[in-house]
Amino acid sequence: MPRFLHTADWQIGRQYGSLPPDNAVPLAQARYAAVERLAQLATAQQVDAVLVAGDVFDAQTVSDRCIRQLFNALAAHAGPWILLPGNHDAALTESVWTRALRLAAVPPNVHLALSPQQLDFADRGFVVLPAPLTQRHTYSDLTAWFDTAETEPGRVRIGLAHGSVQGVLAEQIDSANPIAPDRPERARLDYLAMGDWHGCKAIQPRLWYSGTPETDRFKANDSGRALLVDVAHAGAEPQVTVLETGQFRWTSLEATLQVASDLDGLLDRLAALTARDVVDLSVSGPIDLAGHQRLQAALGRAEAQARHLAADLGGLRLDPTDEDLAGLHADGYLGEVIDELRETRRAGGEAAGVAQDALMLLTAALAARQGTADAPALPAGAAA
């Protein structure tokens, strides 16, 4: 009974240019660590082969050191690795793959599927039909040749491809590198291992995307996984087990503050962040001065706890309480103006909104001028 580890979209050499270097470098290194974990899993699970369905490298221009590091990361598993070129690392005439071969970096147990030719593992009872990309974008289905490929009777037939299964993924994804959704039936495949979609997704029992083994974006798509695939015999439906492989958790948080408990809940979530978390936070809604100070203090602590935290507070609206205003100790003419604005706000009516906006500006300006800890910034476009 052949057993496989299906993975894809390693994108080794990826850079996170939008993040600070202190955070970007560990995230880039985590991609090598993910491959090392896959090698350990492959050995522990005694798989017959590791199927890597494209985008092993993030670009053709990765460094020689990057290439060597990647193949070194495979060392923990001595069995067959089958690596397929994807759209990021297509098998061009001159490519990252030809460089790897010139560097003599490819171990004997690693099979580069650089052309559409079957790879027969007779001693293990299976054959792999690969559909490598030889350019970044194609508009014909490169798996079509599987249909007429003749293999030895009794061999488990495994397809390996990188692209977009048509009519299944989001409409904007159904463009280049199309794959027919019924290819397993047409080509008598026992399993079709797919790459390109970075989340783990079952299209049908014989056709799966494994997703990337290390999450690399904030989109919630079940990434950070690999698939353990068992095929009892040729023609049997594969048994697929999802394995968690990711180190970092990428989370996009949107918090709208309406009542006091909303802020308490947000602070609890920030306190729970760990070194595994990569967070993009957006906060909106009204907040008083004391709440703003609590939020800023919590963000400072969370930034030190998390691997990365980016906070967009542009949607916050400072809503000072009477206690906030009194605590600023404004006197003289400015104190009189504040008292008048407070009365206007209490009275309601059309002028109440203008008074509220004016109090927001004054509170922010006074807090900054008096050196209040974690003083809120002025709203965008406002002048002190």
Does the pTM exceed 0.75?
yes
153 compared with 344, residue with greater pLDDT: 153
Confirm if 57 and 90 have CB atoms less than 8 A apart: no
User: Do residues 116 and 132 touch, judged by C-beta distance below 8 A?
Assistant: yes
Any idea what DSSP says for residue 69?
A: H
**Chain mean pLDDT for the chain:** 89
The CATH classification number of 3-244 equals 3.60.21.10
Q: How confident is the model at residue 82 (pLDDT cuts 50, 70, 90)?
A: very high
Condensed to tens digits (0 to 9), the pLDDT of residues 8-48 reads 999 999 999 889 999 999 999 999 999 999 999 999 999 99
The larger pLDDT score, comparing residue 288 to residue 28, is at 28
d(CA 246, CA 33): 9
Question: Mean per-residue pLDDT for 130-155?
Answer: 94
Which residue would you say has higher pLDDT here, 342 or 73?
A: 73
Mean pLDDT on 355-364:
66
How many degrees, rounded to 5, is the angle at CA 200 between CA 141 and CA 197? 40
Separation CA 8–CA 263 (nearest Å)? 40
Residue type, 106: V
Task: Tell me the angle at which helices 260-271 and 289-305 cross, rounded to the nearest 10 degrees.
Answer: 20
How confident is the model at residue 167, as a pLDDT?
Answer: 79
The stretch 56-60 carries a mean pLDDT of 97
Distance CA 254, CA 204 (A): 33
Task: Report domain extents, the chain.
Answer: 3-244, 249-369
pLDDT value, residue 250:
95
Give the integer Cα–Cα distance in Å for 226 and 215: 12
